[in-house]
Amino acid sequence: MKRVSLTQYLVEQQREHGRIPAQLRLLIEVVARACKHIAIAVNKGALGDVLGSAGSENVQGEIQKKLDVISNEVLIEANEWGGHLAAMASEEMDSIHVVPNRYPQGEYLLLFDPLDGSSNIDVNVSIGTIFSVLRKVGHTRGVSEEDFLQPGKHQAAAGYCVYGPQTTLVLTLGDGVALFTLDRETGSWVLTQSGLQIPEDTREFSINMSNQRHWAAPVRRYIDECLDGRTGPRGKDFNMRWVGSMVSDVHRILTRGGIFLYPWDSREPDKPGKLRLMYEANPMAFIVEQAGGLASTGRERIMDVVPGKLHERVAVALGSRNEVLRIDAYHAEAG
């Protein structure tokens, strides 16, 4: 079988469909190359001295792991000089990183969660990188945080990498979802699946059950009904899977369907949710919708949420279409 590399895939998208401008093509290639570097670091584990805590805290008050810091640096360094970006924003940085003056400024904005699933690093469970691409709109000189505060529906591209038994890259440019697998011998990303589709129905849910007592009524109702199984209102048994790395939990859903939830909970009532809108929820929502699924806060399409600030958080329910619609309906009924 003839192998199609990421480069060939991008060139063909550009040539045949005029879909991606040269700067966006370069951006995707650079991010994919950075992810290879991160994959190598992840793979070395204790041998590369990459496990454990970095001894610092990020802007959200979370302890940073060494790999959070390393991955952030790899992505920044890789993306600074190409002339494709105006600025970057990351879960691990307080404020935006503007491309230094010595390099040309491009028209795109890159946002990332450099290392998703930090609690799984030291236990050798799959982790990943999530990214989102926006265009800098308006012709003002310079770039500020304001330029980033666009709803997810304006994303030009989004993707994630899973560092697991296989190293895979999932990408959308707004016309379906493609999956690439890293061939470690040749060092190239090879297209292994395109046109990914999430089944509309499922018997599998993914949620951190230890927070059950803190959830709002509509989420409790939804999960209770799943747990009631065949003799309950749903009339079927449900299975549960929770990796604790959003990349892996979402990737399972992309592969065989399912529903992933990280809802609002009453421990911190003023926070809309735990996950970050710009680095986690929006890119995953774009990918899931492009694969025929839905992504909602319970009350609103995630990609319609207008961010008020860079590190904004949001409640998340995404995956198989009919399950997300049901969760939305339960929220609507609860008023």
Stretch 59-78: interaction string toward ligand AHG, x if CB under 6 A:
---x----------------
Q: Which of 78, 113, 177, 253 binds Mn ion (CB under 5 A)?
A: 113
Point out which span in 116-124, 180-188, 251-259, 299-307 binds Mn ion (CB under 5 A).
116-124
3-state secondary structure of 157: strand
282 interacts with ligand AHG by CB under 6 A: no
Task: Assess 272 for contact with ligand AHG (CB under 6 A).
Answer: no
Other beta carbons within 10 angstroms of residue 176's beta carbon come to 14
How distant, in Å, are the alpha carbons of 39, 94, 97 from that of 51? 13, 23, 26
Interface pattern 80-109 for ligand AHG (x via CB under 6 A): -----------x------------------
Residue 13 in contact with ligand AHG, rule: CB under 6 A: no
**118 near ligand AHG, rule: CB under 6 A:** yes
Residues 79, 110 contacting (CB under 8 angstroms): yes
Selected from 244, 272, 292, 301, the binder of ligand AHG by CB under 6 A is 244
Told to check if 246 binds ligand AHG by CB under 6 A, we report: yes
245 binds, among Mn ion, ligand AHG, none (CB under 5 to 8 A by kind): ligand AHG
Is residue 116 a contact point for Mn ion (CB under 5 A)?
Answer: yes
Continuous segment of H or E residues that includes residue 167: strand 167-172
> Distances in Å between the alpha carbon of 76 and those of 73, 85, 98, 183?
5, 11, 10, 24
- Collapse the DSSP code of 63 into the 3-class scheme (helix H, G, I; strand E, B; otherwise coil) and give the result: strand
Mark the segment that binds Mn ion (CB under 5 A) among 11-19, 69-77, 87-95, 304-312. Answer: 87-95
Structure tokens at 86: 């105006």
* 113 touches ligand AHG by CB under 6 A: yes
DSSP sequence for 92-128: T-SS-EEPPTTS---SEEEEEEEEE-GGGTTTT--EE
Collect all residues with Cβ–Cβ distance below 8 Å to 113 and sequence separation of at least 6. Answer: 90, 91, 129, 130, 131, 276, 279, 280
- Site residues, ligand AHG (CB under 6 A): 62, 91, 113, 116-119, 208, 244-246, 262
- Site residues, Mn ion (CB under 5 A): 91, 113, 115-116
